[in-house]
Structure 1
Amino acid sequence: MKILLFQMKFWILKIWMKFFLVLSQAANNQAIIIMLFCKISSLPLLTDKLLTEMERNVLSLTNQTTRIQTKMIFIQ
């Protein structure tokens, strides 16, 4: 059950990242990326892994585009 939940969160994260990549390209490299990330208290280790993956994806987005401001909003 925990693995299934982790996989679901990972796929949702990948969909968000694709959306923000399209948004940043459409806004002529001046997009403000806002990421919504729900932290599940019962799975803190899995949540930390997803957060690390999300930060890595944000860094790759900022390397691909020249002027992106990243803002991260955490919902607990």
Structure 2
Amino acid sequence: MIGIRVHFDEPAGRRACRYCGGALPPGKRADALDCSPDHRTRYHRERVAAEAADARRDKSEADIRAELAERRP
């Protein structure tokens, strides 16, 4: 997993949003990581999708076929 180093001692306007990389608005909390609720949601959705893709890559082709055969009625 990729870690993000955040310096909370910097004002919000100088820190970057972890999704888009743009500056955080000056009114954000000291520990804010995202510039908007939408970017927070998008970051988490992409992270979950990336983890699911990694899990699919780890399965062998035979495992995937067996799983699909179990699902069929």
| TM-score normalised over the length of structure 1 | 0.34
Higher strand residue share: 1
* Structure number with higher helix proportion: 1
The one of the two structures with greater contact order (alpha-carbon pairs below 8 A, sep at least 6) is 1
Which protein has the larger Cα radius of gyration, Structure 1 or Structure 2? 2
TM-score (ref. length: structure 2):
0.35
